[in-house]
Structure 1
Amino acid sequence: MNCHQCGGTIAIADRFCEECGVDLMKKPHSPSSDNGCPKCGAPASKIDADRYCVECGFRQAILSNDTLELQPAPNFAGGSDRGRSHPQNEDAIAIEIVDPDTYIIVVCDGVSSSQHPELASQAAVAAGLNGIKLALDRGTEPASAIELGVAAALAAVSKIPIDPKSSIDPSSTTIVTAIVRNKIATIGWLGDSRAYWLAPTKSLQLTQDDSWMRDAIESGMYTPAEAEASPYAHAIVRWLGADTDDGQPNLTTFAIPSSGYLLLCTDGLWNYAPDPAYLHHLIQQSPAPESQALVRHLIGYANQQGGQDNITVAILVTSD
């Protein structure tokens, strides 16, 4: 991980950056003319136009994960975008191809009501991906590999330093992850980040949200319309964090039947297009069929609808 102030390498458990001394417990912010040097303490008057301190030579770097694009193969891509309303991107994504034909996807959405949600999602994707890869290297079957990866993600999130006196919840995040091998997708999740199968013949939502709204509807206490209108509609009931009661992921497998698209995303996208058939329609409207173009098209669509949340999308294009 990197310091939000200077870009120096930090460990998840670090309280202060060893390079510049900034307090990592504080919310990241962009340096401005009002800020002095975070390394030597010189006043703002000593910071020049290029953000160099004339006293010690330290440069305040502005780092951002507002927009991220990944494409390890022409048929496999991912992206994350801050959207138009949130001050920072609290989503994170990691995708990788191992062996030559095993695809791994990890998508996380930091819980905004928790401490350091952006660190939670970043820690979870890094530890989750690494845990899955280590498990697969040992010959572990995909479902067990996902369980081990999610356990590693939970451990990493739980180590994020927090203010124990704060009334704000400990750092937490949702997670959805997939391993695709030999046309079988093994999917695990906690929270309301989703996986979809999108195809001309039949499109499906492959995950079921861990949410108050889903529980309320399934219990018969509310109709779908009543639940949707509730202020608790988008509250999640399971997540990854030090305060979680159960970090065991939901698991499902899906045999990929034909050419199509495996899509994993955060609610920054699906809030605007929850229906699988409509998501497939959106993909068909992309100006280009290549995976990165599809990712950009879906993120652009969410921003056009208002971009009220961070938007993260991963797509694997499959063929017969």
Structure 2
Amino acid sequence: MTARCPSCGAPAAEGDRFCESCGTPLAAPPAPATHPEAPTVPAGASGAEAGGGVWRSSKAGDGPCGGCGGAVGDDGYCDACGARRTVGLDHAEDELPGVAAVTDRGLRKGRNEDAYAIGAAGGRRAVVVCDGVSSSPDSDTAATTAVVEAIGVLVGGGDIAGAYRAASDAVARLATVPVDAPACTFLAAVVEDGQATVGWVGDSRAYWVDAGGARCLTVDDSLAGQLAAAGVDAASLRLSAQAAALTRWLGADAPAGDPHLVTLRPEAGGVLVLASDGLTRYTTWTDAIDSTAGAPELARTLTTFARDAGGADNITVAAVPIDATAPDRGEARP
């Protein structure tokens, strides 16, 4: 049987000390995940000002190797121990006026391949959530690159289609060969003037949550997702696991096309929730929702729920409350 990396699953040759794909030491199991109550990332540590607004992301900063403290070369690997520097943080929390996000590595993954970015500019709030496709190389780099590229466009006043194209181009440039390229999903939202616009490619999801419950606004780019959207009971068809495989994603080998778009103008207050499948894979996650909670509290609560439910995947949750009774119908609760 071919040996495989315990973190990313890439093949490993006999005698290899480190995974050629992700840099994980092959002689030791992945380190335990950070607890979801870890301190919030300091403001400004993972973001910047742009277009008159400000944004934050889960991107890890530059610096020495987190494992041994050695110098990290231009290739992203430690010169002393050979470990690959983490691109995204194992746990991060950020909030800006009217928007918040949390990401966590979960309990069973060796690294966090999810990423988020949040932004605020005047009355506009923006969120981007990307989930690295674990079967592709450097999926964490793909997700982090995508959120950083997209949020800059959105905070600068651009639309979701433009943000998607910028992110898609940036992720495509990561590829060293045209096949088996770094890949991720894409989910973004802009809330402005009481209206929410959501765009997506892949299976990260957006929900509108109000007093009536949670309503999914997106449709997964997979056979199973399309069947469910058409009202077909996919479970009765006994589909193989391949039915959940993505039919669209970001990457050099991705199908062409713009993101799906949906617009929501709620008549009553509620919360727009964006999440990776590390949360939505648990069908009872909506039981943990408190629609009266502020954005930071809600994002933390749902992240904790996913960890307590098993933490089988990386988890990312972003929340944007919308108060439909406010004068501009777009003012967010803090």
TM range (shorter): 0.7 to 0.9
Contact 1:162 1:171 in 2 (8 A): no
Question: Which aligned segments of 4 or more residues in structure 1 are displaced greater than 4 angstroms?
Answer: 30-33, 49-53, 58-64, 216-220
Deviations 1:146-181 (CA, angstroms, capped at 9, x unpaired): 1110000000000114356xxx72111101100100
Q: Show the counterpart of 2:149.
A: 127
1:147 is matched by which residue type in structure 2? A
1-structure distance, mates of 2:68, 2:279: 37
**2:312 is aligned with 1:308:** yes
- Superposed displacement of residue 127, structure 1: 0.7
- Superposed displacement of residue 256, structure 1: 2.2
Q: Show the counterpart of 1:184.
A: 195
Deviations 1:207-241 (CA, angstroms, capped at 9, x unpaired): 11111212345679x73214575212421111111
- Superposed displacement of residue 187, structure 1: 0.8
SS in 1 for 2:145: helix
Contact 1:239 1:247 in 2 (8 A): no
Contact 1:147 1:248 in 2 (8 A): yes
1-structure distance, mates of 2:102, 2:25: 23
2:93 is matched by which residue type in structure 1? E
Q: Show the counterpart of 2:234.
A: 224
- Superposed displacement of residue 86, structure 1: 1.0
Contact 1:120 1:157 in 2 (8 A): yes
Q: Provide TM-score, normalisation by structure 2.
A: 0.69
Indicate which of 153, 163, 174 corresponds to 1:160: 174
Q: Show the counterpart of 1:109.
A: 131
CA RMSD of aligned residues (A): 3.1
Indicate which of 175, 180, 183 corresponds to 1:169: 180
Q: Show the counterpart of 2:165.
A: 151
1:283 is matched by which residue type in structure 2? I
1-structure distance, mates of 2:318, 2:167: 19
Alignment of 1:189-268 (within 5 A): 189-216=200-227, 223-226=233-236, 230-268=240-278
2-structure distance, mates of 1:236, 1:283: 28
SS in 1 for 2:184: strand
More helix by share: 1
- Superposed displacement of residue 28, structure 1: 3.8
Contact 1:198 1:262 in 2 (8 A): yes
Indicate which of 292, 298, 304 corresponds to 2:296: 292
Which consecutive unaligned segments of at least 5 residues does structure 1 have? Answer: 1-24, 34-48
- Superposed displacement of residue 32, structure 1: 10
Q: Show the counterpart of 2:91.
A: 67
Contact 2:132 2:139 in 1 (8 A): yes
Q: Provide TM-score, normalisation by structure 1.
A: 0.72
Contact 1:197 1:206 in 2 (8 A): yes
Contact 1:90 1:121 in 2 (8 A): yes
Q: Residues 84 and 235 from structure 1, CA distance in 2 versus in 1: closer, same or farther, beyond 3 angstroms? A: same
Identical-residue share of aligned pairs (%): 33
